[in-house]
Amino acid sequence: MPAPTPIYIIKIGGQVIDDKDALSGFLHSFAKTQGNKILVHGGGKLATQMAAQLNIPQQMVNGRRITDADTLKLVTMVYAGGINKSIVAQLQSNNCDAIGCCGADGNIILAKKRTGADIDYGFAGDIVSVQSEKLGRWLQEGYTPVIAPITHDGNGQLLNTNADTLAQEIAVALSAHHPATLIYCFEKKGVLQKADDDDSVIPHINPASFETLKNNGIISGGMIPKLENALKAVSRGIEQVLIGQASEFHALINHKSGTRITHDT
Amino acid sequence: MPAPTPIYIIKIGGQVIDDKDALSGFLHSFAKTQGNKILVHGGGKLATQMAAQLNIPQQMVNGRRITDADTLKLVTMVYAGGINKSIVAQLQSNNCDAIGCCGADGNIILAKKRTGADIDYGFAGDIVSVQSEKLGRWLQEGYTPVIAPITHDGNGQLLNTNADTLAQEIAVALSAHHPATLIYCFEKKGVLQKADDDDSVIPHINPASFETLKNNGIISGGMIPKLENALKAVSRGIEQVLIGQASEFHALINHKSGTRITHDT
């Protein structure tokens, strides 16, 4: 039996999506990268802009959008329609056989409406299961899934789901049968020693070094939950998490740029 | 070798999509129908309503929308995002393993921007090719494709494509290897002898009877191009075209309601 094929699960965030040239450059590098890969994308500013134009009030709590019924309709249109299909068309023009979908398509990601939280997040979905066999078969057939952060509950209700979490859950599910690498592309070159110095990227972090970096105050603020999340991912079977810049995607995937997070030393 | 599997290609129009209960009832019947089926949906009034809210002026010529850049973004969001995913989630809740896509996904429908017409239709796409093998494989794997009328040109440009035409081209492409039935679900019970009498459905039309009906003035107005289109479809290899009401889908598919158009007598 041949060794299981490695799979890359790449999440690109809002800042890349909002910048037409940055997105186009990233998609070009992404398409050229050999191997099995899945792209998960966030939303960018478009949903917020359109909500303002359509007079749909937006409420954000702790950086998360409260998804009321009108907002759900809007994000479904923007994420699973506008952004998703624009990415797919660009990847196709780069000879990458992309297939855009959300969690409802093929029932690949089942979620349930978040309940019991202190805050009513509205139509926010927490992931219940990922059909990794289907995603695996699509990859085997030569497709590159491009996944919008919209899921469903199996009873006809679409749900808005955090794209970082979605990428992680997909990677964990696939890691049962494949060496899986989870890649977060964001605006910085990686996890930095000094927040204002782009050349101070920390090349490797594991649970022990994370504690030291945190205790020394080198890692602080919003980077702490991001890294805790990445460390949780590698403790759940994902081989490695890479964090770096979308514009350096090729270097990032080849460990020549960005921060690599693993469970072991 | 087993006989090729029959395939149904069903197009639902705007009036069904705009009516939540009608759509839900149709999707329930559709999901229960055995066999290989592909659903093509139009847009409904939502795009027009949103265009007004977003101050995107809409120009219609001969019932066709002129697709400027802003309108293209809008219809991509509304058709391939909002409507498509809502249909997919509803079908999934009816145990139908739907997978929503547009022509760019998997490169299934390649189109080219319409040029040379008297009118500049903007980003309107005329179909160049349909990857029927891919659609056939998805059906074989148990998926029900749900297709939004957005295509692409292979160079990264999405295009707005007439849903009736899209359904016909998909049916013609699949008819090369499968007996294909093309079904148009619209607001009437079928092609009527008397426009105001819903019980005057003409059960069967072929090229000869069409000429008679036209010469006698029984078929007139907008029904003439619709039927010419259906007759063209059956002359191109599609086994039959069924025209009838979405709410009578089960009866329609079993030839107990609606109008059946064939090439032969």
What does the pLDDT look like over B160-218, one tens digit per residue?
Answer: 999 999 999 999 999 999 999 999 998 889 999 888 888 899 999 999 999 999 999 99
pLDDT the model gives residue B65: 77
- Give CA–CA dist B15/B32, Å, rounded: 22
Residue B192 pairs in a beta bridge with B201
Q: Over range A189-207, report the average pLDDT.
A: 92
Cβ neighbours of residue B177 under 8 Å, at least 6 residues apart? Answer: B4, B132, B136
Is the model's pLDDT at B63 over the cut of 90?
Answer: no
Backbone angles phi, psi at A38, to 5 degrees: -125, 130
- Give CA–CA dist A203/A261, Å, rounded: 9
Binned at pLDDT 50, 70 and 90, residue A1 comes out as low
Determine what percent of chain A falls in helix, strand and coil, rounding each to the nearest 5: 40, 25, 35
Q: Does A21 touch chain B (CB under 8 A)?
A: no
The whole-model pTM stands at 0.95
ipTM over 0.85: yes
Residues in chain A: 265
Nearest to A156 among B79, B93, B105 (CB): B93
Say if the Cβ atoms of A105 and B98 lie within 8 Å.
Answer: yes
Is the model's pLDDT at A59 over the cut of 90?
Answer: no
pLDDT the model gives residue A43: 86
Which among A147, A164, A160 is positioned nearest to A113, based on CA atoms?
A160
Indicate the SS3 state at residue B186: strand
- Whole-number mean pLDDT of chain A? 93
Determine what percent of chain B falls in helix, strand and coil, rounding each to the nearest 5: 40, 25, 35
Nearest to A77 among B82, B93, B98 (CB): B82
Nearest to B76 among A82, A97, A155 (CB): A82
Higher-confidence residue of A220 and B105: namely: B105
C-alpha distance from A241 to closest chain B C-alpha (Å): 28
Please give the C-alpha separations between residue B43 and each of A100, A125, B83, in angstroms, as whole numbers: 19, 27, 7
Element (H, E) at B41: strand B36-41
Q: Over range A49-75, report the average pLDDT.
A: 90
Say if the Cβ atoms of A89 and B104 lie within 8 Å.
Answer: yes
Task: Output the 3-class SS for A44-94.
Answer: CCHHHHHHHHCCCCCCEECCEECECHHHHHHHHHHHHHHHHHHHHHHHHHC
Q: In chain B, what residues touch A53 (CB-CB under 8 Å)?
A: 53-54
Mutate to test the interface with B, among A28, A30, A85, A143 (most CBs of B within 10 A): A85
* Closest-approach residue (CA) in chain B for A95: B154
Q: 54-113 in A: which are within 8 Å (CB) of B?
A: 54, 73, 76-82, 84-86, 88-90, 92-93, 97-102, 104-107
Q: Over range B219-238, report the average pLDDT.
A: 90
Say if the Cβ atoms of A105 and B99 lie within 8 Å.
Answer: yes
Say if the Cβ atoms of A81 and B84 lie within 8 Å.
Answer: yes
